[in-house]
Structure 1
C-alpha cells in the first residue's frame, strides 16, 4: 500500500545528479548559487529621485520584450536549460530525491496555475488545472502562495482542502474542508487549532490609506490599476504605454514618501507595496512547514522527512527558492520560457507544463 505523501520510483532511478555540465540536484546550500541568491535578495527599488532612471530601467528589465527564438539553436537558452532542466524531463531525479519523504507542494497562482493576462481580474484557472491541483491535494499537503489577497485567490481556485497564503504570505489560512491525509495542527496539549498567520495586521490602516492615495494618483494614467491585496498593494502597469511608465513610477514614489514603513518591490509588470517587515513567500513556506510538523528550514532540525516542492514564475518566488537551497532538501521550479536569474533548480515552460507535472506527481504517488 502506498503511504500518503510518499512517491514510488524505480529502484534504479537517478537520485542526485542528472546529466549536464552545470546541473546538480539536490542544489548546493552555498557556493556559486549562494552568491546569485544573495544578489536576487538584494534587488529592491530605491525611491530616491537621483535613481529614477535606474528605477525605470529595473521596470523594463523585469518586463522584457522577449524575442522569438529557437531553443535548440540558442546558446544562451541551452546553457540556462543545463542549469535549470525541465522538471518534466528530469522527473525521475525529483521523484528519487523525494523517495521515502513527505512531499509538501507550494504553488504560486498567476503565471503558474493561470496564464498572465492583461486584466488581473480575469486570471482564471482552467477546470483541468483545478482537477490537477485537487488530485495533488488529495495526496500531499498543498498550499497556494500568492501576492493576491487571500479571498481573491480562493475565489479563483475554489478548493477548500488547500492551505492559502495570500498577500505574499502575510495572510495564511488552513484548509476549511477535511483532508484524507492531513488535518488541523495541534497545540502542545494536543488541542486542535486552525492555521492562521497575519504578521502585518498592524499595517492594515496604513495600507488602506496608501491604497486610496495611489488609486487617486494613477487614475489619470490609462491602463494603470491599483489592486488592494489586503496586506500589500499591487500597481499594475502591464496595460500602460511604456512611455508612461515613468509617470506611474513618479506617482508611486510621491505616495510612498508619506509612508516610510512601506517598501517597494517588483514583479512582472507590477510594483508591489508591502510593509517593512521581514516576511515574504520564503517565510510563509517556513511557517507552513512548521505548522505541518516539519522543520522550518532554519538549520536547527533540517533532517526531517519533508520534501517541499515550490513552483512559481515571479521574482517574489525567489524568496521561497532561497529557503529550499538553504534547506538542501526540496525542489524549486521556475515557470519560464526564457532564461532568467533564479535560485530554482528546475524549470517548466508554462502553466500547461505545470499541470502535466502535477498530474505526474499524482500518478507516481498512486503507483
Structure 2
C-alpha cells in the first residue's frame, strides 16, 4: 500500500515514468527500477545568486566587527591603559542631514559626551570650522579641531605623561588661555578668494550651498538634483585651476577644497596626543570614531602606531583602515554610555 502511494506521489510530481513491469521484487528493488526510469530533466539556466545588502554587510563585519558586540573584548585590552577619545562630528555625533546648518546633536548625545569627557581627554576633529562645531556641541569639557585639523584648540600648556592620572577636563577659563594651532594661516587670504569664486559660480545651481570653514571650503550638493552633481564637480575643478596651492577631496555629497599641505585629521590626532603628553606613551589607548573618508587618515595613524581602536561609523560595507565599526550615531551614543559606565564600575 505504502509503495503504491509513493509511486503515485512520484508520478504526480513528475519524477518517474510509469513503471514498465508489473512484478515487484520488494520495495528497495522497485525504487531502484523506478529510479532508473527517471525522466531526465531539461537543462535549465543557472542564475547567479546576488547576496542581499544585509548579507554583504554581515560578511564585512567579519573583518570590522561591531564595537558594541566586541565591547568586553575591547575593554579587556583597555585595562590599565590611558584612554583618549577622538570623534568626528557630522555622521558620528549627529546624523547626516540635508541642510548642514541643521546638523544638531541630540541632548542625549551631549550628556553622554560630557560624561565621557569628564573621565577621559576628549577631542572632536571635524571638517567644520572650529567655532561652528563648538556652537553645535556646546561643551567646554572637550578640545576642538576644525577644518580637518588645521585649526586646533590645544591645552594651554603641554602636559606630562604623569598628568593623565590626575586628568581634569578643560573649563571655560582654560579655553580662554588655550593654545590655538593653525598650520595653514598663510592661506587665509586665498581661501577668501576661493570662497567668493565658488559662491558666485554656484549661485545658479539650485540646492547647492557653499560653507566657509575658515581653513577649508565645503560645497554641499545633497539637496541638489542628480543632474546638477556633475555641474558642481565642473565648477570646483574650474575654480581650482586658478589656485595651484589647493586641492579638492570628496565626502558625503560634498566637495572639500583645502590647502595642499601635509596636514590632516591624522596629524591633528598626533598633535593632540603630544600636547597631552601621551605621544610617546607605550600604554596610551586612543579611540577614534568617525564616518568620513577624511577620518581614514586618523585610522591610519592608529594602525601604524599599533595602539588604540579606529572605529568606522557606517551601515554599508566599505574599504577602511578601521578595526571595528558602529552602524550610526545611535550606536555611537550607546558606545559612549557603556564606556563611561565601564570606567566607573572598574574603579580605576
Q: List aligned pairs for 1:1-367, cutoff 5 A.
A: 71=54, 74=55, 76-174=56-154, 181-182=167-168, 194-295=178-279, 301=280, 304-367=282-345
Shift of 1:70: 6.1
Partner-residue secondary structure (3-state), 2:206? coil
User: Please, what TM-score do these two structures have when normalized by structure 2?
Assistant: 0.78
In structure 2, C-alpha distance between the alignment counterparts of 1:338 and 1:183, rounded to whole Å? 35
Q: CA deviation at 1:196?
A: 2.3
In the alignment, the residues of structure 2 paired with residue 80 and residue 338 of structure 1 have an alpha-carbon distance, to the nearest angstrom, of: 9
Q: Which segments of structure 1 move beyond 3 Å, counting only runs of 4 or more?
A: none
Uncovered stretches (5+) of structure 2, i.e. residues with no partner: 1-50, 157-163, 171-176
1:140-192 superposed Cα distances (whole Å, 9 cap, x missing partner): 0000100000010000000011100000000001369xx972367xxxxxxxx
Query: Displacement, 1:195?
Result: 3.3
1:110-140 Cα offsets, whole Å, 9 max, x none, are 0000000000000000000000000000000
Q: Distance in 2 between matches of 1:116 and 1:281?
A: 19
Q: Distance in 2 between matches of 1:90 and 1:148?
A: 31
- Indicate the structure whose relative CO is greater, using CA pairs within 8 Å and at least 6 residues apart: 1
Count of matched residue pairs: 283
- Indicate the structure with greater helix content: 2
Would the aligned equivalents of 2:86 and 2:122 in 1 still touch at CA under 8 Å?
A: yes
The answer to whether the 8 A contact 1:226-1:236 is kept is yes
How much is the aligned-residue C-alpha RMSD, in angstroms?
2.0
State how far apart, in whole Å, the 2-side matches of 1:114 and 1:340 are. Answer: 20
SS in structure 2 at match of 1:358: helix
Taking the aligned partners of 2:117 and 2:289, their CA distance within structure 1 comes to 14
Shift of 1:96: 1.3
Counterpart of 1:160 in 2: which secondary structure? coil
Deviations 1:281-313 (A, max 9, x none): 000000000000012xxxxx4x52210000000
